[in-house]
Amino acid sequence: MARASGLLLVLLALPFAVAGLVLALGAVASLVISLRVGSLYPPAGPFVDVPGGRLATIQAGPADGKPIVLLHGASANAADPMGGVGYLLAARGFRVIAFDRPGFGWSDRPQGGADAAPQAQATLIADALAAMGVGPAIVLGHSWAGALALALALDHPERVAGLVLAAPVGMPMPGPITLPWYWRLALKPPILWVLSRTVGPPIALAYFREAGNRVFKPEEPVPGYIETSRAALVLRPHTLLANVQDLVGLTPSLAAMSPRYGTLHVPTTVVSGAADPIVRPDLQAQPLARAIPGARLVLLTGQGHMIHYTAPEALAGAVSDLEATIRRDAVPAALP
């Protein structure tokens, strides 16, 4: 009887022992991945102090050029928009400032999960711009950062001269998002924290290049994108955690922000790939352009989600056109 009870206890404990071993091995692998990625892609520009921490930037172009702020989407960092369209804008004479969003790249996330909302990140970006003495500036937000650029214009209009929203997410999601029970369990803060520091990075690494190629559909991936964008920085535990927090928290933020779009009176251009399967223009770019007074909509035929890489000239042209509009509107009309 005692022997049977001992065997039963061993069998009951075995799954926990296996799970513990998997988590321990995952934690070691995550540490190795984090150290390796950090050594491959160290900070590429100056830091800016903000309350509670600092934000990392990559900058280019003449110091006296018209300022443009680049804000990256999910699973990315400042090198993503800078490598796609940023250096092109710098060559056109703009002073380009690309931020690692809070919790991404080398930027701090002072309030942890509370900084997941676009409104919270907009406050940190505004603080950084104030510390730099920059603004009002044209703000270009790609994908998730479309919401961030909008929050910046709504809550900190003194920092924004114009908006270029590239393949943006800005409109409320259609209907509630329902997840299977195991996803709901995994997204509980304590469990999410553990997963992001154990099995999360190795699993993300296994799908890393496939995911990097998939975001270009229906177009072919741009050669060298993974290296140019320093995309592997997303594999580090704290960034994986920030990425999930941002995606989960976006829906309520959009519901709160979207009723205010009609109050925006800043020159705005919305640019989207007409064939974007990730952020569909009929659900986002088109209704967003209608919601913002005077916004201009540019649909790029045949283009997908990564227009800053596949159509950089068109996107840079939209920025230049907007800057010309802002400059023209700032000139007082001649007296008769």
Question: What confidence category does residue 107 fall into, taking pLDDT thresholds of 50, 70 and 90?
Answer: very high
pLDDT tens, position by position, 204-256: 788 888 888 899 999 999 999 999 999 999 999 999 889 989 988 899 999 99
What pLDDT score does 2 carry?
57
- Does residue 14 register a pLDDT over 60? no
**Are the C-beta atoms of residues 57 and 82 closer than 8 Å to each other?**
no
- Does residue 202 register a pLDDT over 80? no
Question: What confidence category does residue 197 fall into, taking pLDDT thresholds of 50, 70 and 90?
Answer: low
- Does residue 6 register a pLDDT over 70? no
Residues 4, 54: Cα–Cα separation, whole Å: 59
Residue 174: both structure tokens together: 């259609």
pLDDT tens, position by position, 129-150: 999 999 899 999 999 999 999 9
First to last CA, the chain: 107
What pLDDT score does 208 carry?
84
Of 240 and 16, the one with more pLDDT: 240
- Does residue 7 register a pLDDT over 70? no
What pLDDT score does 203 carry?
81
Question: What confidence category does residue 3 fall into, taking pLDDT thresholds of 50, 70 and 90?
Answer: low
What pLDDT score does 318 carry?
98
Question: What confidence category does residue 336 fall into, taking pLDDT thresholds of 50, 70 and 90?
Answer: very low
Give the residue-averaged pLDDT of 38-55: 97
Question: What confidence category does residue 125 fall into, taking pLDDT thresholds of 50, 70 and 90?
Answer: very high
- Does residue 19 register a pLDDT over 60? no
Give the residue-averaged pLDDT of 57-76: 97
What pLDDT score does 230 carry?
97
Give the residue from 254, 250, 297 showing the smallest Cα distance to 272.
297
- Which alpha helices (DSSP H) does the chain contain, by range? 2-40, 79-81, 87-91, 118-132, 144-155, 181-186, 189-196, 200-206, 208-214, 225-228, 237-257, 285-291, 307-310, 312-330
What pLDDT score does 335 carry?
38
Residue 135: both structure tokens together: 């603004």
Query: What are the b/e assignments for 276-295, b being 16+ CB within 10 Å?
Result: bebbbbeebbbbbbebbeeb
What pLDDT score does 249 carry?
87
Give the residue-averaged pLDDT of 256-260: 97
What pLDDT score does 60 carry?
98
Question: What confidence category does residue 114 fall into, taking pLDDT thresholds of 50, 70 and 90?
Answer: very high
- Does residue 85 register a pLDDT over 60? yes
pTM: 0.89
